[in-house]
Each structure stands twice: as structure tokens, then as C-alpha cells.
Structure 1
Amino acid sequence: MRTLYLAANPVDARLAADFLAGHGIAVHIFDEFAWGGRGDLPVNQFPRLMIEDESQYERGRALLKQYERGVPGAPPWTCPNCAEGVDRGFDLCWNCGGERP
């Protein structure tokens, strides 16, 4: 397996893995729990995503560039149920739970 992404922390690793899974790319997270040993271990171990299918490596790298920039092309939106403004990173309205149109 080949390292696709070196995450900043375990939460970032899990979010990136879920993002890739949503686009059909399977990865394994290695060293996810080594984070707890930081400061006590002689090495600084960061979680890393390892791609299962090497043929999807380049596509995975391109998707991770989008992930690092945030939600690409998604503008802020207005909830169709309550007319509340919602930031672009959310698919559900924070006020009423309505879905993005």
C-alpha cells in the first residue's frame, strides 16, 4: 500500500478518509492511535491514509486537494423551509434541520 495523505491529527485523518470514501476511494488509516504517545515517544507519528487500490492514487490526490481547500464550489445557501442562511460546509439547516436544495 502507498501513503496517500499524512494527516495533521486523528480527526483530520478520519474526515479525509470519509471524504474519500464518499467518492468511492477506499483507504486504511495507519498510526491513528499513535497520536496519544506524542511527547512520550522518540518519534513524532502522524496518522496517514494508505490507499487500497493503487490505480486510484492520482484521483485520490486530486480529491484531497479539494478536501484541503474546503467544500469546492458550494456557495452559502438559504434553507427552503425557514429561509435561514446556512454556511457552505453544511448540508442541513442549523435552525430547522432542512436539507440543502
Structure 2
Amino acid sequence: MHTVYAAADPLEAEILRGYLAEHGIAAEVFGAGLWGARGELPADAWPRLVIADGAQVEAARELLRRYEHRRHAAATWVCVCGERAPVHFEICWACGAERPAH
């Protein structure tokens, strides 16, 4: 068994399991049942995508990298002037203010 992704929550894990299945990669979600106990257990409670076929690990990781890239490419930040800018912009396109550090 090869862990290829630690999901943010059980819903994301299931969505990504389906995404991999659409590309011919069988994956299982492990740890989703621990989600409700996170913070109370001294253990890793993040749901994980696991693949049995070692030959598909790199293909799965590449698909998941594409998913991450698209997810972050759509991210934005809000400037002090109220305009939204893509997360990869360091300076607001509307007023020239620098992106706040958070």
C-alpha cells in the first residue's frame, strides 16, 4: 500500500478517489473514520488516499499535483482597497499595495 495524498477532510478524499478512478487508478480512503476524533487523539487523523498498485503511484501523484495546482491557481487575496488579486500576485493590480502577510 502506498499513500499518495493526505486530504484536507473526508469529502476531499472521496472527490479525489473518484478523480483518480476516472483516470483508471484504483485508490482507497484510509482514516476517514478518525476525522471526528481529530484534536482529541494523539494521532494523525487526516484521511489518506492509498494505492495498492506501486506501478500507478507516480501517475497518481502527477494527477494530484495537477489538482493542487488548479486549486491554488484559483486562490485570491483581498487588497486593502477591496480588489481581489490572484494569490501569485505580490502587488495589487488596482492600487499597487503589497499583499498583506498572513
Counterpart in 1 of 2:4?
A: 4
Q: Report the identity percentage.
A: 45
Q: Residue 95 of structure 1 aligns with which residue?
A: none
The Cα shift of 1:12 comes to 1.0
Partner of 1:66: 66
1:43 deviates by 2.2
In the alignment, the residues of structure 1 paired with residue 44 and residue 5 of structure 2 have an alpha-carbon distance, to the nearest angstrom, of 16
Structure 1 alignment gaps of length 5 or more: 72-101
Quick check: 1:31–1:46 contact (8 Å CA) kept in 2? yes
Superposition TM-score, scaled by structure 1 size: 0.65
C-alpha distance after superposition, 1:51-95 (max 9, x if no partner)? 121101111110111112238xxxxxxxxxxxxxxxxxxxxxxxx
SS in 2 for 1:13: helix
Contact 1:19 1:67 in 2 (8 A): no
Structure 2, unpaired ranges of 5+: 72-102
Q: Which amino acid aligns with 1:13?
A: A
DSSP 3-state at the match of 1:70: helix
Count residues with an aligned counterpart: 71
Pairing 1:30–2:25 present: no
Tell me the SS of whatever aligns to 1:50. Answer: strand
- Which portions of structure 1, spanning 4 or more consecutive aligned residues, are displaced by more than 4 angstroms? none
Question: Hey, what does 1:15 align to over in structure 2?
Answer: 15
> Pairwise CA RMSD of aligned residues?
1.4
